[in-house]
Amino acid sequence: MTYVTKVYYPNKEKFKAYIDEIYDNGWLTNNGPLVQKLEKRLEEYLGVKNLLCVTSGTVALELAYRVLETKGEVITTPFSYVSTTSAISETGSIPVFADIDPETFNIDPENIEAQITDQTYAIAPCHVFGNACDIDAIDAIAKRYNLSVVYDASHAFDVTYKGQHILNYGDISAISFHATKIFHTIEGGAIIIKDDALYEKAKVIRNHGSGGPDSVAMLGINGKMNEISAAMGLCMLDEESSIQNDRAMSHEFYQEALQDYVQLQKRNPEASQSLTYFPIVFQSHEEMDQVRKALYEKEIAARQYFYPSLDTIPFVEKRMPMPRSQDLANRILVIPMHSGVESLVVQTIQETLDRVRNQPTTDQPS
């Protein structure tokens, strides 16, 4: 079976050499030398400052709200992975949804303002499938109402916006380095914090709130990345350009072959093209389902992603339905961008849609 994501294994010999180094150092976790090296190399590679590696993208998001400390309402997108929302609930605030733009799949800034109350303290958009949000509009709203902006940039490792890495925007960005991502550390993630004082505070919270060997300075968590994860990250960084080149070829192929058959995500023209996912949207849920089944018969597991729309999940307040997000979640599929299955994927999609769309309806004259 071919799945949407495939874990990339970098050069084994290089990874083994790092494992030897870990044994020689006798340092397996607790801000070890490889974690420090990875943080420095990532800051250089991405052109960001104040980056901290943590145990997952979810923990990076949770750390963001712990650092901001405020409790209240956070306006977020219903079309994302569950962690974008659960991190808000988990740290004691209330996620309030603003519906998306059906073409970009990102939170629509026009819907954010209507959800602001005197309890709102932050906006938490996601750059969905690495497509840059309307950063300028979100920034203007945040300034007008004195709100913090926490971006879920989990899909945006390879994205620049207006010439800078996208992680430089907003007050805080969180990113996932899960094994399925374009850059990974097996499990892991990072937080990037604009404000220096908040960055220092995040270091303390990441390490159990420790104020030193004999003191506890504040409430903390265990968010520390281990040395083996850091070693994987260092190996991945060395191979990033070839990983991204391979994806670029798949992306171009799909773009060309599918643009007349399905709806493609409308990209932010100010940002570079993310190569992390290739989402396609069908005219109806039935169409999507037929294509999904046809692909599955050929052992290709395209994924309805993101699904379900987060305004429908159990632990959130149901203030109002998010029809655009629900509609998109019902009609979207993400297809694999690896393993040389691209031609088969395209052929199957085209044949299925030709068949489904040309089926005569019963009231047509024969």
Contact between 109 and ligand PLP by CB under 6 A: the answer reads no
Using alpha carbons, select from 37, 48, 80 the residue that is nearest to residue 328. Answer: 80
| Between 190 and 198, CB nearer to ligand PLP | 190
Exactly one of 74, 99, 171, 178 binds ligand PLP (CB under 6 A); that residue is 178
Contact between 84 and ligand PLP by CB under 6 A: the answer reads yes
CA-to-CA distance for 272 and 7, rounded, in angstroms?
Answer: 23
Q: Which tokens is 171 given?
A: 């007050």
CA-to-CA distance for 197 and 47, rounded, in angstroms?
Answer: 20
Exactly one of 80, 91, 104, 226 binds ligand PLP (CB under 6 A); that residue is 80
Cβ–Cβ < 8 Å for 180, 153: no
Exactly one of 2, 5, 58, 106 binds ligand PLP (CB under 6 A); that residue is 58
* Window of 24-32, 75-83, 157-165, 271-279 that interacts with ligand PLP by CB under 6 A: 75-83
Using alpha carbons, select from 45, 329, 294, 50 the residue that is nearest to residue 173. Answer: 50
Closest distance of CB 77 from ligand PLP, Å: 9
Q: Give 231's Cβ-side CA count (13 Å radius).
A: 20
* Window of 40-48, 147-155, 277-285, 343-351 that interacts with ligand PLP by CB under 6 A: 147-155
Calculate helix-pair angle for 82-90, 57-68, nearest 10 degrees: 40
Name 207's Cβ contacts closer than 8 Å, sequence gap at least 6: 30, 31, 220, 222, 223, 224
| Between 179 and 346, CB nearer to ligand PLP | 179
Contact between 224 and ligand PLP by CB under 6 A: the answer reads no
Q: Which residues in 298-357 contact ligand PLP (CB under 6 A)?
A: none
Cβ–Cβ < 8 Å for 124, 97: no
Exactly one of 39, 62, 73, 152 binds ligand PLP (CB under 6 A); that residue is 152
Closest distance of CB 365 from ligand PLP, Å: 49
Contact between 130 and ligand PLP by CB under 6 A: the answer reads no
- In the chain, DSSP assigns E strands to 2-3, 51-54, 73-76, 94-97, 120-124, 148-152, 160-161, 164-165, 172-176, 189-193, 210-212, 215-216, 263-264, 278-281, 300-301, 332-335
Closest distance of CB 206 from ligand PLP, Å: 15
Exactly one of 125, 170, 189, 279 binds ligand PLP (CB under 6 A); that residue is 189
| Between 228 and 349, CB nearer to ligand PLP | 228
Contact between 229 and ligand PLP by CB under 6 A: the answer reads no
| Between 84 and 160, CB nearer to ligand PLP | 84
CA-to-CA distance for 273 and 339, rounded, in angstroms?
Answer: 21
| Between 202 and 349, CB nearer to ligand PLP | 202
- CA–CA–CA angle 164, 165, 167 (5° rounding): 130
Contact between 150 and ligand PLP by CB under 6 A: the answer reads no
Contact between 183 and ligand PLP by CB under 6 A: the answer reads no
CA-to-CA distance for 187 and 312, rounded, in angstroms?
Answer: 27
Footprint of ligand PLP (CB under 6 A): 56-58, 80-81, 83-84, 126, 152, 154-155, 176, 178, 189
